[in-house]
Amino acid sequence: MKRYFLPMYSIVFLLAAAAATLCIKTILTAGGGGGADTIFLYPNTPHEETKKTHVFNSTVLQFSAVDLAENSLRQNVEQLVGGNMQGLDKRSFLYAGKHRIDIRARSARGVPVNLRSPEFYRLWLEFRRYLQTWWRNHKFQDDVMSEMANVVRNFKRGFNESDLGGNGKFRTCAVVGNSGILLKSDLGGEIDGNEFVIRLNNARTSGFERNVGSKTSLSFVNSNILHLCARRENCFCHPYGENVPIMMYMCQMIHFLDYVVCNTSHKAPLVITDPRFDVLCARIVKYYSVLRFLRETGKPLELWADSHDGSNFHYSSGMQAVMLAIGMCEKVSIFGFGKLDGAKHHYHTNQKGELHLHDYLAEYDLYQDLVERPEAIPFVSDKFKFPTVVIHR
């Protein structure tokens, strides 16, 4: 009897242990229901890792995916490609009305531009080509953030390979905003200690080095800045030096004219943001703005546009610069974003208020999620790995 029951007892014990182990693994893997705070365990990883999932509001996602300016933008592009300048920005350095040329307009070589000249015709063809290419690529693509590392190639000049991580990204990056909270911050040394420093809209550093630093690796601007620079001799737009690259997003399609004229005069790269990246940033900012609107007002979703300039609503230069750094860098430090009572709006100007077409408070919500829970950021592919983000206030 003993010889018969001993093996059976062992078998039963082993089966029970296996069933218990399987049950525990099932419970851990299921996470108790798959909610927003579900924890998933991955037994194949060398170290025990956790990954949080986030449940998005599908209605807000769908609403945020609609660009209210899409139709007017399409009409604008078609109008420009067709050569019709009527009703567009008459302040363009090339046009001041239908036929008259601004006599201050000069080519990249400093030669006055004439409407019927071969020089102008060449610029016009380039303008159409850039505009058409931009418009073809102006679409949503959720994995465009993974392609931002390719942008690093445009800015590698002057950097050692040791400045880059194994994935080709910069190890440490600083995005320096223009808020007056930087005054008396003594953060200049910490900013300059980063391998790659991005500054916004040509905010000057002279006289403010102690608080904002002096190092600049990239000047990130909106195209209105280049539009103003195009009126100057040789399109001078270099407060940080002629060897500092400039990246910009297009506010108005007519500014492609400024780009084709100024591009050849710049020693350092003059780069336009990927239109797919523009679309992604627009959706993200709108999502955060809508969430804040619903939370604070309790009003219907459809009334959001009335309180945020409708089709004119847009992300800020700072927001897109931060997202650029997220794609290019292994660690991102954010400086000069935010407000304090008594602090100037801009550390370097006397501007009093903000532009209503931006929702800065919504953008601050985004930055906080970049620090604390990047899984809550919508429209970005799950394949993209967010870097470490630190906000200095």
* pLDDT score, position 50: 38
- Residue 191 has φ and ψ, to the nearest 5°, of -65, -50
* pLDDT score, position 342: 66
d(CA 376, CA 54): 6
* pLDDT score, position 109: 54
* pLDDT score, position 19: 46
* pLDDT score, position 385: 95
Prediction pTM value: 0.79
d(CA 316, CA 362): 11
* pLDDT score, position 171: 93
Tens digit of pLDDT per residue, the chain (393 long)?
334 344 444 444 444 444 444 443 333 333 333 333 322 222 333 333 334 678 898 999 999 999 999 999 999 999 898 877 665 444 444 433 332 334 345 555 555 555 556 777 888 899 999 999 999 999 999 999 999 888 877 776 655 555 555 678 999 999 999 888 899 899 999 999 999 999 999 999 999 999 999 999 999 999 999 998 888 888 889 999 999 999 999 999 999 989 998 888 888 889 999 999 999 999 999 999 999 999 999 999 999 999 888 888 999 999 999 999 999 999 999 999 987 766 676 776 777 666 667 899 999 999 999 999 999 999 999 999 999 999 998
